[in-house]
Chain A
Amino acid sequence: MNINIKLVGFLSLTGLHEGFTGGVVVLENNSHVFDLLGKIGVSTSDPYLIVRDQKILSMDDELFNEDVIQIVPPISGG
C-alpha cells in the first residue's frame, strides 16, 4: 500500500536524519506505524508526532492505503 508522508515545517528543509524528505512510501498491507518509521529511518524514540487526520498515532496503530501521514517535529521558544 502507498503511504504519503508529509514532513512538516523545517523538517521538509532539513529532511530526516537518513535523508528522507517526504513523499510516497510503499509498505506491506496491514503495516503499522512502527513499520513505517523503520522504513524511513525514524526511531520509535524520536520525539516526532505522527499524525493522521489531526489525530496522534501510536506506534502500533494500523496504517491504510493512501493514508496521509504528517511527521511533526518538536519546536519550542522564540
Chain B
Amino acid sequence: MLGYHGKILRVNLTTGKIDIETPDQSFYRRYVGGRNIGAYYLLKEVPAGVDPFGEENKLIFAVSMLTGVSMSGQSRSSAISKSPLTGGFGEGEAGGHWPAEFKKTGFDALILEGISKVPCFLYINDGKVEIVPADNIWGKEPKEVEEILKSQLEDSRIRVAQIGIGGENLVPYACISNDLSHFYGRTGLGAVMGSKKLKAIVVRGTSKTHLADPNKLKEVRTKFNRSVSTHPALIAHQRLGTAKGVTPLSAAGILPTHNFRGGSFDGAESISGEKMEETILKKNDTCFGCAVRCKRVVEYSSDEFNIDPAYGGPEFETIASFGSNALIDDIKIIAKANEMCNRFGLDTISTALTITCAMDCFESGLLTLEDTDGIELRFGNGEAILQCIEKIPTRNGFGALLALGSKKMAEEIGGEAKKYAIHIKGQELPGHEPRGKWGVALGYGLSPTGADHLNAAHDPWFTVDADPKTVWVSLNDIRPLGISNPVPALSLNHEKVRMFIQLQDIWSLINVIDYCLFCMVPEFSVLQLNDMVEAINAVTGWNTSLLELALWGERGVNLTRAFNVREGMGFKDDMLPDRLHEPLTSGIYEGVAIPKKEYEEAVKLYYSMRGWDEDGRPGKGKLLWLDLDWLSELLHEH
C-alpha cells in the first residue's frame, strides 16, 4: 500500500499485550488518518458513558499518508480520546519531529488501552515495542525526562511525546507535548494519558513508505518552498509566527480583552509578535521537514524569573489568553506563563481562562484573599497569574479549585460565578472574539471539542471578493468548494451557514490528513486545494479528487458529532456563553452582540443543511451517504 505501512499498533497497558492489526486499503481510503481513524476506534470500541479516566477509555494517536514525506507542513499527528474536560470527543493535533518519527517506526496509528499498574513509558523502535517501567521519570519535568530517556536508551535521536505533572495528577485540561514545545493542547488528553499511568511514548524508526509518483510530489514541494520567501503570508508568518495576529486583531476589535468584555486592548503593541522579536526572541524553530520555521524560541533572565528556551515561546492563543484577556501588557510575563504551562503540561488557553474567571470572581467578591491563599487575583496582576499556575498541577491549596477548569470551578464557587466562566461544552474560549466575526461563533458552538478556533475558516477573508493576487487568501481560493459569494462578517444568514459548512469540511480534512493549516488554503493561499489533491495522489496513487477530500472532512464532522450525540450532547450544548450575547465594551465593534435567537436559528439551519435532526443527531440517510453504515446502526437502531 502506498503512503501507509498498513499496520496499526495496539497496546494494552493492563495486560501488557501488544498486537499489530493490518486493515485493508479500503479502511485507509475511507478513514485516511488523524481525526477519522481516531474517531472510528473510539466509536467502535469505547462504550457510551465511560469514565474518561477509566480502563475502558482509549487514547489513539494517528497520522496520515502525508506524514513523513518530503514536504513542508506534513509532520503532524492527532491524539484522540474521550475528553475529561468536556465529556465528549477529545482531540488535539501537534507538530514537531515526533509525528514523522512515529511514522518511521512502521505504524500508521497507535491504540492505547487499559491502565498500567505502575508508571511506564512506551518505547517503539523500528517496529519493536516495549512497555518500560517509568519510576525514574514519573514526577519529572519534560526537559529532564527527555535527557534521562536519551541516556537510558543510549540514543540521542529518539523523539518523545510526554505528559507533565499536570497530566500525572489528572488535571482535566492537561496536555501532551511532542519534543517539549509542540502540543496536543486542548481537551485534557494529557490527563487521559496520565490516568493510564503512561508518562511518555518514545519513538525511533527508519521505515519509509513508498510513493506513487515522487516527481509529482517534488513539484508540489518545490512550488511551496518557492513561496516561503515570496508569499507575504509566509514571510510574515516566518518573521513573527502566529503572534503576528495580536495588533491586527486588536485594531479589528476582535482581540478578547478583560475576560471577553472588550475587543481591543490598549497594550496590544506591548504583547505583539513585533515586541517579542525586539525583546525575548532567541531564534526560530520548525517541525520536521518544514521550510517555514514559524515556531518561537524565547529566552529571558532576571532577578524575578528566568524563561527556559527549551519549552518554546508563546503562540498567539497564549498571548491573547494570558495577555489582553487578563489585561497583562508584558510579553515577558506571558512568555513565563507559557513556559510554566509547557513544563507542567497544561493547556495554556484553559489555564488562562480559568484564572481570568477566578479574577472576575475575586474582583466581584465571590473569592477572598483567604480563598486564594493570599494571592491578589486582579486583572493586570502578572505575578498573581504565575503564582496560580504554580499551584495547579499539584492541586496545591487554591490550585485545587483552579485545577477543575472554569466551568466546574464556577459551579463550585456558586452564586454569579457561572457568568465569568467563558466556555462551550466545558472547554474555554480561545483568543478570537466572535462578536466581530460571527462565523467563528458558529465554529465555537459547533466544534465537537468545545470552543475551538480551528474548526472553520475565520470570516474576515471572505467578506469581499478580493483580487487573489493582493491578499493572503481570497474567495477565489475557495471557489472550488462551490462557494460563490462573499458574506459579511456580522451575518448568520443561510449564506454564512452554507459557507461555514463548506469550510468546516476542509478544516476537518486538515485534521484527517494531519497537515499544517498554515501551508494551505483556506488559511494561506500557498498550496491550493487542488495542489493538496495532487500531493495525495502523488503519495497514494489513488486518483482522488477534491470531492473525495471534502467527503473525508465531512465524514470527520459526522463521526465526531456521532460520538458526542452518543454521550448525550445536543442542541443545548452547541449554545454560546451569555457573555457573547452581551455588547462588546471596546473596539470597533463596541456595542455589538451576537443575537441569541439568530444564532439559535443558524444552528438549526446548520443541522438541516447537514442532514441532522433538530437536536443535531446525524440522520440515517446522511450516515449511509457517508459510507458509515455501521454508525447508522449504532446511532439509530440501538
Cβ-defined contact, A49 with B466, below 8 A: no
B427 to chain A, nearest CB (A): 16
CB distance A78 to B236 under 8 Å? no
The answer to whether A77 touches B458 (Cβ under 8 A) is yes
Contacts of A75 in B (CB 8 A): 244-245, 248-249, 252, 458, 460
Asked if residues A73 and B458 are in contact (CB atoms below 8 Å), the reply is: no
Main SS class of interface, A: loop
Q: Is the CB of A46 within 8 A of B251?
A: no
Contact yes or no, B470 A76, CB < 8 A:
no
Interface residue tally for chain B (C-beta within 8 Å):
46
| Cβ-defined contact, A45 with B464, below 8 A | yes
CA distance in complex: A13, B471 (Å): 14
A31-59: which have CB < 8 Å to B?
A: 43, 45-47, 49, 51, 54-56
Is B41's CB within 8 Å of the partner chain A?
A: no
| Most chain A Cβ neighbours within 10 Å, of B460, B462, B467, B587 | B460
Q: Range of interface residues on chain A?
A: 20 to 34
Q: Which residues 219-268 of B sit at the A interface, judged by CB distance below 8 A?
A: 232, 235-236, 239-240, 242, 244-249, 251-253, 264
Whether, in the assembled complex, A24 has its beta carbon less than 8 Å from a beta carbon of chain B, the answer is no
A72 within 8 A of B: yes
- Least Cβ distance of A4 to chain B in Å? 15
Are B466 and A78 neighbours in the complex by a CB distance under 8 Å? Answer: no
Contacts A77-B517, A78-B315, A78-B317 known; A10 to B236 CB distance under 8 Å? yes
A76 to B461, CA, bound (A): 8
Contact present for B460 and A76 (CB under 8 Å)? yes
Give which listed residue, A8, A46, A56, contacts B247 with CB less than 8 A. A8
A30 at the interface (CB under 8 A from B): no
Known contacts A47-B460, A78-B315; A8/B470 CB under 8 A:
no
Q: Could you tell me if B251 and A56 are in contact, using CB atoms closer than 8 angstroms?
A: no
Q: Decide: A46 and B244 in contact? CB cutoff 8 A.
A: no
Contact assessment for B588 and A43 in the assembled complex, using a CB-CB cutoff below 8 Å:
no
B524 and chain A: residue at smallest CB distance: A76
A residues near B242, Cβ cutoff 8 Å: 78
Whether, in the assembled complex, B633 has its beta carbon less than 8 Å from a beta carbon of chain A, the answer is no
Complex Cα distance, B273 from A24, in Å, reads: 25
A78–B518 CB distance below 8 A: yes
A76 with B244, Cβ < 8 A, contacts A43-B467, A46-B464, A46-B466 known:
no
B590 interface hit (Cβ, 8 Å): yes
A-B Cβ contacts below 8 A, count: 101
Chain B residues whose CB sits within 8 angstroms of the CB of A78 once the complex forms: 242, 245, 315-317, 518
Determine if B453 and A77 form an interchain contact, defined as CB atoms under 8 angstroms apart. Answer: yes
Q: Which of B235, B248, B432, B588 contacts A73 (CB 8 A)?
A: B248
Contact partners of B315 in chain A: CB under 8 A? 78
Query: Known interface pairs A46-B464, A47-B466, A77-B458. Does A54 touch B587 (Cβ–Cβ under 8 Å)?
Result: yes
B471 touches A46 (CB 8 A): yes
Q: Which residues of B contact A47 (CB under 8 A)?
A: 460-464, 466, 471, 474
Whole-angstrom CA separation of A8 from B248 in the bound complex:
6
The reply to whether A72 and B236 contact each other, CB–CB distance below 8 Å, is: no
* Bound CA span A5–B453, Å: 31
A72 near B454 with CB under 8 A, answer no
Q: How far is the CA of A46 from the CA of B588 in the complex (A)?
A: 19
Contact indicator A74/B272 (Cβ below 8 Å) = no
Contact of A13 with B464 at beta-carbon distance under 8 Å, contacts A54-B588, A72-B248, A75-B245 already known: no
CA distance A17 to B230 in the complex (A): 12
Instruction: Determine whether B385 belongs to the interface, using a CB cutoff of 8 Å to chain A.
Output: no
Return B636 CB to nearest CB of chain A, in Å.
Answer: 34
- Which residue of the partner chain A has the closest CB to B460? A74
Residue of A nearest to B239 (CB): A13
- A70 and B236 within 8 A (CB): no
* B510–chain A nearest beta-carbon distance, Å: 10
- Chain B positions within 8 Å of A56 at CB level: 588
Contact residues in A for B66 (Cβ distance below 8 Å): none
A74: chain B residues within 8 A (beta carbon): 248, 252, 458, 460-461, 463, 471-472
Nearest Cβ distance between residue B314 and chain A, in whole angstroms? Answer: 12
B457 touches A10 (CB 8 A): no
Instruction: Quote the shortest CB–CB distance from A69 to chain B (angstroms).
Output: 11
Chain A residues within an 8 Å CB radius of B474: 47
Q: A14 is contacted by which of B232, B432, B469 (Cβ under 8 Å)? A: B232
Across the interface, which residues of A come within 8 angstroms of B244, CB to CB? Answer: 9-10, 75
Report the Cα distance A73→B462, complex, angstroms: 12
Contact with A along B465-479 (1 / 0, CB 8 A): 111011110100000
Tell me, yes or no, whether B523 is within 8 Å of chain A by CB.
yes
Q: Which of B251, B458, B463 contacts A76 (CB 8 A)?
A: B458
Q: Are B588 and A9 in contact (CB under 8 A)?
A: no
What residues of A have a CB within 8 angstroms of the CB of B248 in the complex? 8-11, 72-75
Q: How far is the CB of A60 from the nearest CB of chain B, in Å?
A: 16
A77 x B454 contact (CB < 8 A)? yes
Task: Indicate if the CB atoms of A54 and B457 lie closer than 8 Å.
Answer: no
A49 touches B588 (CB 8 A): yes
- 0/1 per residue, B515-555, Cβ < 8 Å to A? 00110000100000000000000000000000000000000
Q: Which residue of B lies closest to A15 (CB)?
A: B232
B467 touches A9 (CB 8 A): no
Contact of A13 among B235, B461, B462 (CB under 8 A): B235
Q: Which B positions have Cβ atoms within 8 angstroms of A?
A: 232, 235-236, 239-240, 242, 244-249, 251-253, 264, 272-274, 315-317, 432, 453-454, 457-458, 460-467, 469-472, 474, 517-518, 523, 587-588, 590
Q: Which 10 A-B pairs have the closest CB atoms?
A: A74-B460, A76-B458, A78-B242, A10-B236, A9-B248, A9-B247, A14-B232, A75-B245, A72-B251, A8-B251
For the complex with contacts A8-B247, A17-B470, A72-B252, 10 further pairs of A-B residues with Cβ separation under 8 Å are A14-B235, A43-B466, A46-B464, A46-B471, A47-B466, A47-B471, A49-B251, A54-B253, A76-B457, A76-B460
Sample (29) of A-B pairs whose CB atoms are under 8 Å apart: A8-B248, A9-B246, A9-B247, A9-B273, A9-B274, A10-B239, A10-B273, A14-B235, A17-B469, A43-B466, A45-B464, A46-B464, A46-B466, A47-B462, A49-B460, A51-B251, A54-B253, A54-B264, A56-B588, A72-B248, A73-B472, A74-B252, A74-B458, A75-B252, A75-B458, A76-B457, A77-B432, A77-B454, A77-B457
